[in-house]
């Protein structure tokens, strides 16, 4: 379990090292000696001794083997892998748009040529007469 913050100060300490020790015994004869030695040790601030029934023992055994709590992690891992696969797969590309043919632009019309009207010389007319 390791080093953890205490819920409240005990002997002016704010953190402590937690241990979880499991053991099996055919009878509980040594429990009196264990309690006494835990109480006498100054390094131990608190301790708790619990007797488990067969269901508690099976639960702890399954937890150590990874059978409990791992299914959620496995299912989450599979879901994230599926999402990644779906995201990395290339989606079918939409068909490319047909190229637009440019409309032919007529060449620019030539500028109109302005032809001045013929100038009739008054002198030339009188000579012809």
pLDDT digits (tens, 9 = 90+) for 18-47: 888 888 888 878 888 888 999 999 888 888
In which domain, by residue range, is 67 found? 53-87
Domain count along the chain: 2
Distance CA 30, CA 43 (A): 21
* pLDDT value at residue 55: 92
Residues 30 and 13 in one domain: yes
Distance CA 123, CA 126 (A): 5
* pLDDT value at residue 11: 85
Quick check: is 76 in a domain? yes
* Contact criterion met (CB below 8 Å) for 60 and 22: yes
Under-50 pLDDT residues of the chain? none
Residues 57 and 47 in one domain: no
Quick check: is 110 in a domain? no
Q: Measuring CA to CA, which residue among 81, 14, 88 is closest to residue 45?
A: 14
* Contact criterion met (CB below 8 Å) for 34 and 48: no
Residue 35 host element (H or E) = helix 31-40
């Amino acid at each position: 379990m390791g080093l953890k913050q205490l819920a409240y100060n005990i002997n002016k300490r704010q953190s402590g090292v937690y241990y979880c020790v499991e053991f099996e015994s055919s009878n509980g004869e040594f429990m009196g000696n264990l309690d006494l030695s835990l109480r006498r040790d100054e390094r131990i601030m608190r301790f708790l001794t619990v007797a488990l029934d067969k269901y508690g023992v099976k639960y702890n055994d399954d937890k150590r083997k990874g059978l409990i709590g791992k299914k959620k992690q496995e299912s989450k891992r599979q879901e994230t892998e599926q999402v990644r696969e779906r995201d990395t797969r290339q989606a079918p590309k939409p068909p490319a748009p047909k190229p637009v043919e440019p409309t032919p632009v007529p060449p620019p019309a030539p500028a109109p040529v302005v032809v001045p009207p013929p100038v009739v010389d008054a002198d030339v007319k009188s000579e012809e007469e």
